[in-house]
Copies of this chain bind each other. A is one copy, B any other.
Amino acid sequence: MEDYLERRKQLIHEDRARRVDAPGARTLSEDEVHADEIVRRIRAEEAISVWAVNSGSVFDYDPAKTTPNVFPGMEFLTARETIIKTRLFEIISKMPKGGLLHAHLDATVNARHLLKLALEQPVMHVSVSSALTSDNIGDVLPKFKPVPKENVSDVGSLSDLSYHPGDWIPFRAARDNFSESLGGPEGFDKWVINALMINPIEAYQTHNTTQKIWAKFTSVFTVSTNLIRFSPIWTEYIREFFLSSIEDGISYSEARINFWYRYMVGPNGEENIDHRGFVMIFGRVLNEVKEEMKRQGREDEFIGSKIIYCTLRFISPEELEWYCEDCLALKQEFPHLIAGFDLVGHEDSLRPLIDYIVPLMRFVERQKELGLDIPFIFHAGETLGDGTAADMNLYDAILLGTKRIGHGFSLVKHPKLMEICREKGIPVEVCPISNEILRLTSSMPMHPLPILMNQGVRVALCSDDPAIFGNMGLSFDYYQVLVASEVSGLTTMGEIARDSIRFARLDAEEKERALALFEKRWAKFLQDVIRDYAQ
């Protein structure tokens, strides 16, 4: 039996040898071991006290009698209110997270905060395609426009019988005058928020397939873009992204910005702020936040932020050439801000990377000509398909030399590609909650993350579109990953956080500083966990 147990231990070690937290790979400090034990104990306790409670026999989202089937790593949208009450979440919230490497800038700020920013802009207006009633309020979406030049309504409410569809009402007035029968101003907020987020009924019932939920997902961007691409809001939106990230322990980020829109709207209502303007605002707010952190003596909590230039996967290869040139010009002017290039949008339904090989290879050549370095950081394999065009994007992303893979959900099906990722150090930006809400996985225990980790493919945990999913910061994603595994522990989360810095598009010096600052915070965090949670 002793011999058997020894062989068993050996086999387990070999099986886990490629993990970032491989047994015996490095000697753990006493604090690391202790804090890891504490977290495992609390996780085990809460698996019973929080996640094993008996639920009713009928699955029903009526808030008055919601009794979903609960378990650790269950559907985020129904679990969220429970998660935030747990001790484990309390711990994870305080954990330094390193970098956030995959987030779409225009979906990074809490929808309620965006609403607040919009209400602060007297020139923001709203319209609907038909006067709101209790019957249609679930289907009619708000449309926004700053400083409309015509069709400004002379009625003050979107639910007024005399409201002329399409006419513009000042946003604040529309809220103040929102019909009591539709819930008054609070009903107005609820209506707007519902258009800006995915709710559990959509994710888990009516739109419970990747294809359907993407329809809702796309609709959110259509609604929010006219709020966000208004430079006074955009400015404050970026600031809030930085500040709220810092509060969650994120010290660095690489924001994917969608440059498909060639202009955004300026303060006077003219759509005349070009891509240079986008980046200049980003850079200005970045500096202001750095200054502010310094003033507070917290400069070590914020390394900075960069931009991954994105356009959408539905453009023609010819149109892509324009965007590549545009990106080159921005890189020349803002070399410290432009960190990479990507194509975004629903891979299952839009054009595959193979359609763009010629302009993308040309883009690489042009970089050489100009002495620039704008690495590809492609979305690829964000799909359930096996051998579909979206799945095949992984081959092209890797052949094109992508430095990281966005999502790579289907990468686990590809042994050779995983080998390449492991050997070349191409990490995957894994977005656990996004994958679940967009129905690639039904819950965290079904998520393929452990497969990647055990294959030695490095990962960074990312939030993707937290404004739409409600997974603000990175704490929720770390939490969901941590409760769904008994192999991973707090030490594993620390290694993943370190990888989010190691694989960031920072130069060697920046990276060294970022890692040193991380270690300092991590050591302090471990001490806090031991102080506050040891029995």
Q: A383's closest neighbor in chain B, by CB? A: B445
Query: With an 8 A cutoff between CB atoms, is A414 at the interface?
Result: yes
- Indicate if the CB atoms of A441 and B446 lie closer than 8 Å: yes
Does any Cβ of B come within 8 Å of A488's Cβ?
yes
A416 near B11: Cβ-Cβ < 8 Å = yes
Supposing A8-B395, A387-B487 touch, asked if A455 and B69 sit within 8 A by C-beta, the answer is: no
Cα distance A413–B14 when bound, in Å? 13
Is the Cβ of B11 less than 8 Å from the Cβ of A386?
Answer: no
Whether A205 pairs with B59 at a CB distance below 8 angstroms is yes
A414 cross-chain contacts in B, Cβ below 8 A: 15, 454
Determine the chain B residues whose CB is within 8 A of the CB of A440 once the complex forms. 446
- Give the interface segment out of A175-183, A207-215, A463-471, A500-508: A207-215
Checking B11, B69, B412 against A399 with a beta-carbon cut-off of 8 angstroms, the contacting residue is B11
A358 at the interface (CB under 8 A from B): yes
Q: How many copies does the complex hold?
A: 2
Please tell me if A25 contacts chain B, counting CB pairs below 8 Å.
no
Is there an interface contact between B454 and A415, defined as CB atoms closer than 8 Å? yes
Q: Which residues of B contact A357 (CB under 8 A)?
A: 1, 4
Task: List residues of A (391-436) whose CB comes within 8 Å of B's CBs.
Answer: 392, 395-396, 398-399, 412-417
Counting CB contacts under 8 A, is A385 at the interface? Answer: yes
**Distance of A472 Cα from B43 Cα, bound (Å):** 41
The smallest beta-carbon distance between A473 and chain B, in angstroms, is 24
Most buried by B among A211, A417, A445: A445
Residues from 359 to 395 in A contacting B, C-beta threshold 8 Å: 361, 384-388, 392, 395
A1-42 interface (Cβ within 8 A of B): 1, 4, 7-8, 11-12, 14-15, 17-18
Check if B384 sits within 8 Å of A15, measured CB to CB: no
Q: Which residues of B contact A396 (CB under 8 A)?
A: 8
The interface residues of chain B lying within 8 Å CB-to-CB of A442 are 441-442, 446
Q: A8-B395, A386-B485, A441-B446 are in contact. Are A417 and B15 (CB under 8 A)?
A: yes
B451 contacts A412, C-beta separation under 8 Å: yes
A residues contacting the other copy or chain, number (CB 8 A): 58
Write the A138-152 contact mask toward B (1 if CB under 8 angstroms, else 0).
000000000000000
A486 proximal to B (CB < 8 A): yes
| Partner of A446 from B14, B57, B384, B454 at Cβ < 8 Å | B384
Q: How far is the CB of A67 from chain B (nearest CB, A)?
A: 10
Q: Is A64 an interface residue (CB 8 A)?
A: no
Is A455 in contact with B415, judged by CB distance below 8 angstroms?
Answer: yes
CA distance A454 to B412 in the complex (A): 10
Chain B, Cβ-Cβ closest to A452: B413
Q: Which of A436-452 contact B (CB under 8 A)?
A: 440-442, 445-446, 448, 450-451
Complex: A59 Cα to B384 Cα, angstroms: 21
Chain B residues within an 8 Å CB radius of A416: 11, 14-15, 17
Contacts of A388 in B (CB 8 A): 486
Hey, which chain B residues are within 8 Å of A392, CB to CB? 12
User: Which residues of A187-243 are within 8 A (CB) of B?
Assistant: 205-209, 211-212
Report the Cα distance A375→B484, complex, angstroms. 34
A291 to chain B, nearest CB (A): 44
What 8 pairs between A and B have smallest CB-CB spacing? Answer: A387-B487, A384-B445, A387-B486, A15-B416, A386-B485, A442-B442, A59-B205, A69-B209
User: Which chain A residues have a beta carbon within 8 Å of chain B's beta carbons?
Assistant: 1, 4, 7-8, 11-12, 14-15, 17-18, 57-59, 69, 71, 205-209, 211-212, 354, 357-358, 361, 384-388, 392, 395-396, 398-399, 412-417, 440-442, 445-446, 448, 450-451, 454-456, 484-488
Can you list 28 A-B contacts (CB < 8 A)? A1-B357, A1-B358, A4-B361, A4-B399, A7-B399, A8-B354, A8-B395, A11-B398, A11-B416, A12-B395, A14-B416, A15-B395, A69-B209, A71-B211, A384-B445, A384-B446, A386-B484, A386-B487, A386-B488, A387-B487, A387-B488, A413-B450, A415-B456, A440-B446, A441-B442, A442-B442, A448-B451, A451-B451
